[in-house]
Amino acid sequence: MAEPFVAIGGDAAGLSAASKCRREDPNREVIVFEKGSWVSYAHCGTPYYVKGEIEDLTDLLSLRPDEIEERGIDLRRHHEVVGINTTEQVLRVEGPDGTVEQPYGDLLIATGARAVTDPIPGCDLDGAFTLHGLDSAAAIRAHVTDPDEIDPEAVDESFVDRDRVRRNASMAPPDAVAIVGGGYVGVEMAEALSAYDLDVHLFQRGDHVLPAFGAAVAEEVEDHLRKRGVELHLGTEVERIDGDDRVSGVEHAGRRVDVEMALVGIGIAPNAELVDGTPIERGDSGAIATDEYAETTLDGVYAAGDCAEAIHAVTGAPTWVPLGLTANRVGRAVGTTVAGDRTPVGAVAGTAAVKAFELEAGRTGLLEDEAREAGFDPMSTTITAGSRSGYYPGAEPTSVTLVADGGSGRLLGGSIVGKDRAAVRIDTVATALEAGMTIDEVERLDLAYAPPFSPVWDPVLVAAKVLAGELAE
């Protein structure tokens, strides 16, 4: 009998792989090690739990531990894999009862990523947070709300870090908060924390928030954030978080802003150190290098999710794009491969969406600067068109940026921003991108038209038509 298929990590990639392998090969033993309490949860939903739109923390669970075990998966929470002996194919695992060794046949490393706080001092003060995991979301919500808002009986006792939640609930709620970092987390949490009538200061080291979405999107988002009362500090690097035991302010360029809470969202780093000292290689990004099947540089060892690289759909080169769909999709493919049907995982284009109060934004592929860095000769255009027929109620301006290669006309990427179903329109661009379409081909797409949903010329088609004309000049 084959040695078990073992997944290290009990979230999107690990459990997708484990579940698919069990379905395809019911006789295969499948073990999942998870060093924490939470498994199979929706990390992207945490800002909306903090805001209060999601009532219970457990609503963010895709599968509960008992449901996972019902699938025939041997789930071992509170077990951390601390070493991989690739010669003997044995893992060293630390658990509640000590250290054990676990043989494996096929192995998936799905250890995720962690929030980055360096080089900002003061992140260990009470009132300083990162948003990475459900325990941190629970602590933040407890910190800004009445302690009765979190019902201890509503959450499985084995799940939540209750001491941390109670400690934050016992503190006086803040009046002002500093959000350090203007990416996805920073923008979404500006909305979430504004719901508590806090003075929200958002600090961004670069000139714009949401740098991955391009200047056209960022400028609209910035204007909207200001209108909703968020004070933006652009081109401003926070040097330290001040306080004795609790946060009292943040310092930047010799200045100080008084706040009682700080949320640091300056990025994440892959949890890939486990492979150091083994034949499993890391890529230039620091994440684990993989091929088109998510296999690492060692046969039978796979990596997926936020700890692993993937192939970029436009450049064909390795890239690190830590997003939820990628983790689920790659995990599922790995499970199929391990069960005997070798399945490619597909490329990634970095397709993403973000919400800032009433404004939505989406992006995919390469924007102009990224395309130039990748060796293309990019041309881009930005247009604004109505989201519905002009005479139909609810129409909103929708701005679309498309980027194409000047020589071949090939679509390279794009971004979208607006208030009326703007973000989902990026899926049209992403699909065309994956298909390798030219701008001329995108212009000829037969998209649906009805006044409640779109004008005759969808904003994506308008952008393609304008860019096609510019390329032809």
| Rounded distance between C-alpha atoms, residue 75 and residue 104, angstroms | 15
Pair 115, 263: CB distance under 8 Å = no
| Rounded distance between C-alpha atoms, residue 85 and residue 108, angstroms | 14
Pair 422, 221: CB distance under 8 Å = no
| Rounded distance between C-alpha atoms, residue 144 and residue 124, angstroms | 18
Residues near 112 by beta carbon (within 8 Å), at least 6 away in sequence? 9, 11, 270, 271, 305, 306, 307
Distances from the Cα of 433 to the Cα of 404, 424, 444, angstroms? 10, 15, 14
Pair 278, 298: CB distance under 8 Å = yes
Helix ranges (H only) for 85-157 are 134-144
Residue in 110, 89, 92 with CA at minimum distance from that of residue 32: 110
Catalytic-labelled residue, pool 21, 44, 123, 307? 44
Longest dimension (CA), the chain: 71
Known active-site residue 307: no
Pair 89, 104: CB distance under 8 Å = yes
Residue in 276, 335, 311 with CA at minimum distance from that of residue 434: 311
| Rounded distance between C-alpha atoms, residue 228 and residue 83, angstroms | 49
| Rounded distance between C-alpha atoms, residue 471 and residue 473, angstroms | 6
| Rounded distance between C-alpha atoms, residue 247 and residue 167, angstroms | 14
Residue in 134, 103, 129, 96 with CA at minimum distance from that of residue 10: 134
Residues involved in catalysis: 44
